[in-house]
């Protein structure tokens, strides 16, 4: 370790004021503080000791919470691929195949994102922030396996620049950065991120007879139009291949979809890590699931088609609701920041997701828009919570 420290020390003069790479000091510092927690000490007045947790550790906690979803995603991409082409292969082959399609997306997301971030740090001369550790992973996990890599790169640049850096960097953004990336692709290149063809990695192979690449949400939506009970439609989907949309299959995540979003179980494992470590707000997660369920019930009451009449707990396991509620809605920067506000914010995300899913034909998956919409409304929710606090203080004064 001493050698590494010496290496950093030896190149340091180049980055200091007057050195030839003076402009890149922030990058030097960024790398050094990743290798070594800095030797900064507390100021002479104020708290003389500080908590051992910093933002890097908080962020890495979120990344670790996403790893189960990532690993499952890799497996599932392989699984879905060989299912679609009708080949029986070992799990190792499936995993390798999944890795082959997921890894490039992950690498592009991180490389391009960090590159953009570094560029901004140098131009704006602000420290390299650890926020992208999480964003890079999130962007990869919400992409369909078939996505062209240049689109991943473009979306990442868009999200980092327009979603975050224009507001001043990590901690200042209004919208969730990863969701911004996905929404960008959804509206700019819908062909590659919606429909029935993109959720299973086919390569140049053709699917077996009877295979349909539709997502559970699309199946349910079409069942609503056709007047077929949703549970029947889900159960008969790809039934000949043994890959129907049973509640259990969807809960486990052996269904087509974006890389990391399919498994409710893995999202819940992530939720347990996030809630136990206190990094994410349990209030948002609980009220998010609760909001979806209650809105599902309301839909049942006013059911005018079969999709509306679907049992509400199916909403929990279909699409990206679980992933979105656990990893996207809980992003502390773009979420509501007051404790009361978090209940309302999470609830509305869940409820809005179901409304968008069930009533809007253009967006079978609602979580993306629900999160972005509530990101925009979070400050409004907080505004009223804060106002209530002020009012309490004011009333106390006049009593």
Residues making contact with other proteins (CB under 8 A): 1, 4-5, 33-58, 60-61, 64, 127, 129, 131, 168-172, 273, 276-279, 281, 332-333, 335, 337-339, 342, 382, 385-386, 389-390, 392-394, 396-397
Distance CA 127, CA 59 (A): 16
**Which CB atom, from 250 or from 286, has the smaller least distance to other proteins?**
286
DSSP annotation of 270 reads H
φ/ψ of residue 158, rounded to 5: -60, -50
CB of 374 to other proteins, least distance (A): 15
CB of 15 to other proteins, least distance (A): 16
CB of 234 to other proteins, least distance (A): 37
Taking CA atoms, 222 is separated from 237, 299, 314, 379, in Å, by 12, 17, 16, 36
**Which CB atom, from 50 or from 124, has the smaller least distance to other proteins?**
50
In contact, 83 and 75? CB cutoff 8 Å = no
The tokens for 17 are: 């004021």
**Which CB atom, from 282 or from 363, has the smaller least distance to other proteins?**
282
382 alpha carbon, distance to own chain's centre: 23
CB of 72 to other proteins, least distance (A): 19
CB of 377 to other proteins, least distance (A): 16
In contact, 367 and 324? CB cutoff 8 Å = yes
**Which CB atom, from 172 or from 188, has the smaller least distance to other proteins?**
172
Q: List all residues 6 or more positions away from 169 whose beta carbon is below 8 Å from its beta carbon.
A: 120, 124, 126, 129, 131
CB of 371 to other proteins, least distance (A): 16
In contact, 140 and 109? CB cutoff 8 Å = yes
**Which CB atom, from 243 or from 275, has the smaller least distance to other proteins?**
275
**Which CB atom, from 172 or from 225, has the smaller least distance to other proteins?**
172
Centre a 10 Å sphere on the Cβ of residue 10 and count the other Cβ atoms it contains: 9
């Amino acid at each position: 370790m001493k050698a590494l420290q010496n290496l950093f020390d030896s190149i340091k003069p180049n980055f200091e004021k007057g050195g030839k790479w003076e402009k890149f000091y922030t990058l030097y510092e960024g790398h050094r503080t990743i290798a070594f927690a800095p030797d900064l000490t507390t100021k002479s007045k104020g708290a003389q000791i500080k908590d051992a947790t910093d933002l890097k550790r908080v962020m890495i906690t979120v990344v670790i919470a996403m790893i189960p979803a990532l690993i499952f995603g890799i497996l599932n991409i392989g699984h879905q691929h060989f299912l679609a082409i009708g080949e029986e292969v070992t799990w190792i082959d499936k995993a390798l195949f999944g890795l082959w399609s997921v890894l490039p997306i992950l690498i592009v997301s991180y490389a391009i994102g960090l590159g953009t971030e570094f560029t901004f740090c140098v131009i704006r001369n602000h420290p390299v922030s650890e926020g992208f550790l999480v964003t890079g992973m999130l962007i990869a996990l919400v992409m369909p396996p078939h996505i062209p890599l240049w689109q991943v790169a473009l979306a990442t640049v868009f999200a980092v620049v327009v979603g975050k850096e224009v507001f001043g960097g990590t901690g200042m953004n209004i919208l969730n950065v990863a969701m911004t990336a996905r929404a960008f692709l959804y509206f700019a290149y819908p062909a590659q991120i919606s429909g029935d063809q993109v959720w299973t990695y086919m390569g140049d192979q053709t699917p077996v007879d009877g295979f349909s690449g539709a997502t559970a949400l699309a199946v349910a939506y079409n069942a609503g139009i056709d007047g077929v009970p949703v549970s029947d439609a889900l159960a008969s989907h790809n039934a000949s291949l043994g890959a129907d949309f049973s509640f259990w299959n969807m809960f486990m995540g052996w269904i087509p979809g974006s890389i990391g979003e399919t498994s409710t179980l893995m999202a819940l494992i992530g939720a347990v890590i996030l809630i136990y470590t206190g990094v994410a707000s349990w209030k948002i997660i609980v009220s998010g699931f609760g909001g979806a369920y209650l809105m599902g019930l309301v839909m049942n009451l006013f059911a005018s088609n079969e999709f509306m009449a679907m049992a509400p707990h199916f909403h929990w396991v279909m699409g990206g609701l679980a992933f979105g509620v656990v990893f996207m809605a809980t992003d502390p920067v773009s979420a509501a920041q007051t404790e009361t506000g978090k209940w309302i914010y999470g609830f509305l995300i869940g409820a809005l997701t179901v409304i968008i899913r069930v009533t809007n034909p253009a967006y079978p998956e609602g979580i993306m828009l629900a999160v972005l919409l509530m990101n925009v409304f979070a400050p409004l929710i907080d505004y009223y919570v804060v106002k209530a606090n002020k009012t309490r203080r004011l009333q106390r004064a006049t009593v």
